[in-house]
Structure 1
Amino acid sequence: AMATLTRVPAVLAERRHPAADSPNMVVRRATHDDVVQKLKQDQREQDARRVAQLKIRERGLSMKLTRVEYMLDGSRVIFYYTSESRVDFRELVRDLAAHFRTRIEMRQIGVRDEAKMLGGYGPCGRPLCCTTWLTSFEPVSIKMAKQQQLSLSPSRLSGMCGRLKCCLRYELPNGNGVKHAGCADNGNCSNPTGCGSCATGGGCGSCSHHS
Structure 2
Amino acid sequence: MKRERTSADSRVQKNRPSQGYIYLVKNPSSNEMSICAWDSVLYPGTSVVAPTRYGLDLGIIISAADQLGKSYESGCDQPRAACFHAEDCLPKDEREAFHAGDPEEALPSYSLEKDEDPCESCAGCNPQREPGEVEISGDVVWIDRLATPSDLSRYQEQSAKEDEAMRICREKIAHHKLDMKLVTAHFLLGEPKIIFFFTADVRVDFRELVKDLVSVFRIRIELRQIGVRDESRVLGGLAVCGRDFCCHGVTDKLDPVSIKMAKEQNLSLNSMKISGPCGRLLCCLSYEYDFYVEEKRNYPPEGSKLKVGYDLMKVHEVNILSKRITLSGSEGRMFTIPQNAVFFNIDTKRWELEKEFANEFLSN
Percent identical pairs in the alignment equals 42
* SS of corresponding position for 1:69: strand
Q: Does 1:97 align with 2:151?
A: no
Q: Does 1:118 align with 2:235?
A: yes
Q: Which residue of 294, 308, 316 maps to 1:175? A: 294
Partner amino acid, structure 2, of 1:124: C
CA distance in 2, matches of 1:134, 1:21: 21
For 2:247, the equivalent position in structure 1 comes to 130
- After TM superposition, give the deviation of residue 175 of structure 1 in Å: 3.2
Structure with more of its chain in strand, by fraction:
2
Contact 1:74 1:102 in 2 (8 A): no
Partner amino acid, structure 1, of 2:58: M
For 1:44, the equivalent position in structure 2 comes to 161
Larger radius of gyration: 2
CA distance in 1, matches of 2:295, 2:269: 26
For 1:195, the equivalent position in structure 2 comes to none
Partner amino acid, structure 2, of 1:96: L
For 1:55, the equivalent position in structure 2 comes to 172
Q: Which residue of 196, 205, 210 maps to 1:88? A: 205
Q: Once the two structures are superposed, what CA deviation does each residue of 1:8-54 show, in whole Å capped at 9, x if it has no partner?
A: 9x89x62499986344x544432221121111111232221111011
CA distance in 2, matches of 1:19, 1:62: 43
For 1:72, the equivalent position in structure 2 comes to 189
Q: Which residue of 14, 29, 40 maps to 2:68? A: 14
For 1:2, the equivalent position in structure 2 comes to 58
Q: Which residue of 275, 280, 287 maps to 1:158? A: 275
Contact 2:228 2:278 in 1 (8 A): yes
Of the structure 1 ranges 168-177 and 43-52, higher mean CA displacement relative to structure 2 is found in: 168-177
- After TM superposition, give the deviation of residue 153 of structure 1 in Å: 2.5
CA distance in 2, matches of 1:104, 1:170: 37
Structure with more of its chain in helix, by fraction:
1
Partner amino acid, structure 1, of 2:293: N
Structure-1-length-normalised TM-score: 0.73
* SS of corresponding position for 1:2: strand
Q: Which runs of 5+ in 1 are unaligned?
A: 181-211
CA distance in 2, matches of 1:162, 1:112: 8
CA distance in 1, matches of 2:139, 2:162: 29
- After TM superposition, give the deviation of residue 154 of structure 1 in Å: 2.6
- After TM superposition, give the deviation of residue 55 of structure 1 in Å: 0.7
Q: Which runs of 5+ in 2 are unaligned?
A: 1-56, 71-130, 298-319, 322-364
CA distance in 1, matches of 2:208, 2:168: 14
Structure-2-length-normalised TM-score: 0.44
* CA distance 1:15–1:41, change in 2 (3 Å): farther
Of the structure 1 ranges 59-68 and 130-139, higher mean CA displacement relative to structure 2 is found in: 130-139
- After TM superposition, give the deviation of residue 107 of structure 1 in Å: 0.9
* CA distance 1:6–1:72, change in 2 (3 Å): closer
* CA distance 1:73–1:143, change in 2 (3 Å): closer
- After TM superposition, give the deviation of residue 176 of structure 1 in Å: 4.9
